Chains A and B, each alone.
Chain A
Amino acid sequence: MGQITLNAVRKCFGEVDVIPSIDLRIEDGEFVVFVGPSGCGKSTLLRLIAGLEDVTSGGITIDGTDATELPPAKRGLAMVFQSYALYPHMSVRKNIAFPLKMAGMTPEQQEAKVQSAAKVLNLTNYLDRRPGQLSGGQRQRVAIGRAIVREPKAFLFDEPLSNLDAALRVNMRQEITELHQSLKTTMIYVTHDQVEAMTMADKIVVLNAGRIEQVGSPLTLYEHPANTFVAGFIGSPKMNLITGIEAEKLGATTIGVRPEHLDIVDSGGWSGVVGLSEHLGSDTFLKVGTKEVGTINVRAGGGITLRHGDAVRLAPRPGKVHRFGSDGKALS
């Protein structure tokens, strides 16, 4: 079990209202990702759930019992920190066994659990090393090992991959996803990287300035962003947000077109000049300066041979234009 409910949770640091009021329900077994720009309160929200920070007002329920006043150890949650927070003077074995030792398990029980966790995480050969002798990815795995031996109700990850290099990040991302599929435990994952959010999540919570902008599955957020913030934040390269006459033609204050939904056409559409073209082989990213809608990003096929200074005409694919009102919210 691992069902977590936040009820009008509010957090202030002194005068600063970091999280004004958040209501959220996380179902058992879900992989939830909190995503948002830095300083949006996503880490604070995770620490509130963990119990490392006290809520200013509101309540947190875990599995139907009120956990608002419970100390971190009593909540039955395990956390993986950004800095891994391994104990430097203990071997990997002792690091992983530490929560079991604190729970008063016998050495034999500890050893059995450590062995099985090490097997899952490919750490069997490193059990007698110190954290200082491990690479970044291995340290990350030890931190995860320390979390899984406790068999928690839910895992909390605080930007766990941000200290790894790009290749390793992709690997660990897949490992964590596989881990979730085999354990089927609730996981809450905080990141500022929308690619991690899109690839891993069952449910994404987009946060901005301590407020939830939208909650939904990755594809829901991609296809139906609730407002201009989500529209601009989810998706890479970023969605083109266009204001002015072209938007008014469609009865909106702002219209959004994703770079992959712009087609290069022979006639009609918007005419422009290629400012920058990046050929990635599979894709070509173009930055096109147009008269009608200013500079827009285009994601075209790999075979496009347009270069700087070439003239081009672009048309948004019908049905793929998002319309937003004057308050930034999506118009149906």
Chain B
Amino acid sequence: MATQHSRLAARFMVAPSVGFLFVWMIVPLVTTVYFSFLVYNLLHPERQGWAGFDNYYYFLTDRAFLTAVWHSVALVVGVLCITVVGGILLALLLNLPFWGQGVVRVLVIAPFFVMPTVSALVWKNMFMNPVNGMFAHIAKGLGLQPYDFLGHAPMLSIIGIVSWEWLPFATLILLTALQSLDSEQQEAAEMDGANWMNRFIYLTLPHLTRAITVVILIQTIFLLSIYAEIAVTTGGGPASTTITYLVAQQSLYGNDVGGASAGGIVAVILANIVAVFVMRMIGKNLDA
């Protein structure tokens, strides 16, 4: 009886915060859904009224839409591949005992603390700039033609910048997972005749699956909403506009609140589809 009583009390106690969170979530969502069915353009206040599914129709048939979807996928998958593989390698390296370990670990984690806008600016102006950038200087020093990264390969350049930002996060999570790997297991495998590669495949990697799952889930959420890096470096354009950026363009530059809301809802639906797939594929690793 006591437990039932306390359970009831517990529900009663958490009710306000649950209710608050629900309102916090539902009000913007409902507002956005409502706006997405309106003719609502800030430049044309005189045009008002019900738009039906027109906003969705225009957003989905926009020539930029499919390319934007493709760019979003490229950004998420590209960054995930680079950060997970790179993160595992870096974590393995940092897990080795060496002199100055503490300092190096702090240095490796440092990029994560740099604001996206700042890091994108630094990369754009100090590294990738075809005239003054470091890469251009190196290319000239080697007698090569400087490459205009953001001009010729904008999506790849953005993937590079974002990977640089997120690599520390992946490394940090994977390093902590590596540190909890039982050393007796490693020794047992060593006695069982497993070489370094086999130990990595059969022991280390299975041990890391949960950490890798966490990295993929969290990064997917944040990578889908990447905005600053694109705005600062290329400002969108046909070669580097993602879904998120397309929505921002509609509302900010087009002043089309109705169309942007429709785009936002489309983005939410797409993100949820991705979430379902990701959870299906790798979420079961989180159970055990």
Contacts and interface: CB of A to CB of B under 8 A. Distances in A.
A65 B178 CA distance: 37
Contacts of B184: 81-83, 85
Contacts of B207: 89
A83 B190 contact: no
Contact of A72 (B185, B191, B206): B191
B203 A87 contact: yes
A77 B182 contact: no
Interface string A77-110: 1110111011101100000001100110000000
For chain B, what secondary structure do more than half of its interface residues adopt (helix, strand, loop), or is it mixed? helix
Contact of B182 (A79, A85, A90, A98): A85
Interface string B191-208: 111110010001100110
B282 to A, nearest CB: 15
B122 interface: no
Interface residues of A, number: 23
A146 interface: yes
Interface residues of B, number: 18
Contact of B190 (A72, A90, A103, A150): A72
B188 interface: yes
B117 to A, nearest CB: 42
Contacts of B187: 52, 72, 79, 81, 85
Given A83-B184, A87-B185, A89-B206, A52 B190 contact: yes
B214 interface: no
A50 interface: yes
A77 B191 contact: yes
A78 B187 CA distance: 11
A311 interface: no
A51 B190 CA distance: 10
Given A52-B191, A81-B187, A87-B202, 10 more contacts: A72-B187, A77-B191, A81-B184, A82-B184, A85-B184, A85-B185, A90-B202, A98-B192, A102-B192, A102-B193
Enumerate the 3 nearest inter-chain pairs by beta-carbon distance, A residue then B residue, closest first: A99-B192, A85-B188, A85-B184
5 contacts: A51-B191, A73-B191, A81-B184, A90-B202, A102-B194
